[in-house]
Amino acid sequence: MNRLPFLLSFFWILISCESKNTPDKIDLEELTIAEIHQAFSEGKYTAEELVQAYLTRIDSLDSAINSISVSNPEALAIAKKLDEEYQKTGKLRPLHGIPLIVKDNINTKGMPTTAGALALADFYPEEDAFIIQKLVEAGAIILAKSNMAEWAFSPMHSESSTVGTTRNPYNLDHVPAGSSGGTGAAVAANFAGIGLGTDTGNSIRGPSSHNALVGFRTTLGLVSREGIVPLYLRNDVVGPMCRTVEDATKVLEAMVGYDPKDPITEYSKGKSEGNYQQYLQKDGLKGARIGVFRTLSEKDPDPEISALFNQSLKDLASLGAVIVDSVEVENFDSLRRNQWCPVFRQDVEAFLSAYVKRDTMKTIEDIIRVSTKSDYARNGLENFRESQLPDNMAQDCGDPFTDLKRIAFREAIEKVMDSLKLDALVYPSWNNKPAKIDRFQEDYKGDNSQIIAPHTGQPAFTVPMGYTSGNLPAGIQFLGRMWSEPILIKLTYAFEQGTQHRKPPLLVK
């Protein structure tokens, strides 16, 4: 009797059983891209098993946090195909098999893109946004879409009509900030490897600060915004929200590139790089000149945040940086005024026309007719319906390369940076602790992210700088010159590696 077929069948049954058990054995806490790829190469687990492990974790733990809008029903099948590709080629793409959380205002084919609103609850885009195409080409797996502040209106909290309110995983009584609070909470809670947010004024950096994450708001024009439900397209940026600077850098590297459907990316030609990982240097702070922008850091700060920030300055110095204290920008208060331009109606109606393509959903009035469960969103929609725009839109509501007010603001900041030979300015990303969920409007203060970078177009990165009482995270922000992502990567990576503030939240099943 030939026992070989029987033995082979028995062998594959054993492997199958082991495979089914593997997801429960994967330690998902703080997994990095490099660690996942090493595990793939060593055969410890597959992308399919990793995806299943993350989905199981979401099912087990997200009910308390409410960070996920919808899981991708194709995630396991996509992972399986990537596993088969790796078995055939022996090569891993840059983000091969890395599960990704996508904010629910970024177009993803085959999945709803709702911006948290009932008006888009059944909108399924025909194509992926440009940046999603690039991330998928790099091997990332869209694991799930994340909850957000409806229409990205709120920097304070993340409440939608589609999912409800997201809580901060470090302390469930507090907000994760907005509007990318779902991504912030999900990535902080180790529900995926990497995440994406969008930032009109705060919405990457605020939630990253509140959730002990690294958040990159890049130079406006470096990354395409095509296929993203806009708030103010003139300010909107999409960027990585990750647990480490290295992972955020790898995500950024996969996203940059000229997109003819987003004309502002024309400015990035000759200024973007194909290899940002070369700037991940542990000694990146040695000799760097860091300016302390106390105009922001000293604006009614919480004493605990001040203590963390001042300790961070000592840490920067101990890591080799030259600290230039009390940097002042001439006419800062006057230059920062009248920078906002309420173009939501124009931008969202253009999005509806280009992507949603429904006769019943063309205008802001149609959105209001469908209604909302959020009083905050309802008030925002009514305000935007009544907003009056300047007569000269090109002059007063332009991009940071043509709008004279935005240029003047940026030039004043870069002038002082040049005169003092500064590599970056630093200040707390938020001067106060995350607000209580039931008092988010009363306690909203200290948000430093809305003041400079969205208007000037400059890049600004936040990294963890410690925790206040209540186990609440805080972040320090590094502001650079236009197109200075390489410098900011060096500075933030060196600070992160030298301080190691990031720790996961304590979640209970």
- For residue range 286-321, what is the model confidence (pLDDT) as tens digits? 999 999 999 999 999 999 999 999 999 999 999 999
pLDDT tens-digit series, residues 109-160: 999 999 999 999 999 999 999 999 999 999 999 999 999 999 999 999 999 9
Give the integer Cα–Cα distance in Å for 72 and 93.
Answer: 21
- At residue 24 the predicted structure's pLDDT band, cuts being 50, 70 and 90, is low
Within its chain, how far is the Cα of 245 from the centroid? 12
Per-residue pLDDT at 392: 76
> Is position 484 annotated as part of the catalytic site?
no
Gap between the Cα atoms of 29 and 285, Å rounded: 28
- pLDDT score at 8: 35
Is 374 labeled as catalytic in the residue annotation?
Answer: no
Does the annotation mark 103 as catalytic?
yes
For residues 227 and 130, is the Cβ–Cβ distance under 8 A?
Answer: yes
- Is residue 308 within 8 Å of residue 432, measured between CB atoms? no
Confidence bin at 91 (pLDDT 50/70/90) = very high
Residue 508 in any domain: the answer is no
Q: What whole-number distance in Å separates Cα of residue 142 and Cα of residue 126? A: 16
| 481 vs 459: CA distance, rounded Å | 7
Tell me how far CA of residue 130 lies from CA of 32, 73, 123, 255, 414, in angstroms. Answer: 24, 21, 18, 9, 31
CA 56, CA 331: separation in Å to the nearest integer?
53
148, 115 contact by CB (below 8 A)? yes
Amino acid identity at 435: A
pLDDT of residue 112: 98
Q: What is the pLDDT of residues 402-427, one digit of tens each?
A: 999 999 999 999 999 999 999 999 99
Strand duo 322-324 + 289-292: pairing: parallel
Alpha carbons 77 and 51: distance in angstroms, whole number:
10
Pairwise CA distance, residues 412 & 410, whole Å: 5
Does residue 223 belong to any structural domain of this protein?
yes
Please indicate, yes or no, if residue 4 is contained in any of the structural domains.
Answer: no
pLDDT band at 509 (very low <50, low <70, confident <90, very high): low
Confidence category of residue 5, pLDDT binned at 50, 70, 90: very low
CA distances (Å), origin 85, targets 128, 132, 303: 22, 20, 53
Q: What is the CA radius of gyration of the chain?
A: 23
Query: Residue 19: is its pLDDT beyond 90?
Result: no
Residue 268 lies in a domain: yes
For residue 146, the SS3 value is strand
Asked, for residue 15, whether it belongs to a domain, the answer is: no
67, 69, 103, 209: the active-site residue:
103
Q: How far apart are CA 408 and CA 336, in angstroms?
A: 10
Q: How large is the greatest C-alpha to C-alpha distance in the chain, in angstroms?
A: 92
Location of structure tokens 């940046």:
131
Position 251: which residue type? V
CA-CA distances (angstroms) from residue 224 to 124, 160, 183, 365? Answer: 20, 25, 19, 28
Is residue 13 in a domain?
Answer: no
More confident residue, 19 or 195: 195
Q: What is the DSSP string of 226-238?
A: TTB--S-TTT-EE
Q: What is the pTM of this model?
A: 0.94
pLDDT at 448 over 60: yes
CB contact set of 34 (below 8 Å; sequence gap of 6+): 246
Average pLDDT value for residue range 10-29:
57
The pLDDT value given to residue 396:
80
CA distance 193 to 184: 12
Catalytic residue among 154, 161, 203, 272: 203
Residue type at position 224: S
Mean of pLDDT values over 350-358: 98
What CATH number does residue 399 fall under? 3.90.1300.10
Catalytic residue among 67, 154, 179, 224: 179
Total domains in the chain come to 1
DSSP 68: E
Fill in the amino acid letter for 263: P
- The mean per-residue pLDDT over the stretch 371-376 comes to 96
Q: Could you give the strand order of the β-sheet that contains 68-71, starting from the edge strand earlier in sequence?
A: 68-71, 141-146, 99-103, 194-199, 237-242, 214-217, 460-468, 472-479, 424-428, 289-292, 322-324
- Residue found under tokens 């939630």: 207
The answer to whether position 8 is within a domain reads: no
* Residues sharing a CB contact under 8 Å with residue 95, sequence separation 6 or more, in sequence order: 33, 135, 138, 139, 140, 194, 250, 251, 254
Both structure tokens of 411: 């030039």
237-292 residue pLDDT tens: 999 999 999 999 999 999 999 999 999 999 999 999 999 999 999 999 999 999 99
Name the DSSP class of 405: H
The structure tokens 């001439």 sit at 330
pLDDT over 80 at 186, yes or no:
yes
Range of the domain at 395: 22-499
Residue 61 pLDDT exceeds 50 = yes
Distance CA(450)–CA(457), nearest Å, equals: 12
Does residue 34 sit within a domain? yes
* Residue whose token pair is 């996942």: 36
**Average pLDDT value over all residues in the chain:** 94
Q: Which residue has the higher pLDDT, 14 or 144?
A: 144
DSSP bridge partners of 130: none
pLDDT band of 6, cuts 50, 70, 90: very low
3-state secondary structure of 274: coil
Would the pLDDT of 12 be above 60? no
How far CA 390 is from CA of 294, 338, 394, 400, 488, in Å, comes to 33, 11, 9, 17, 35
Sequence-separated (6 or more) residues with CB below 8 Å from residue 317: 323
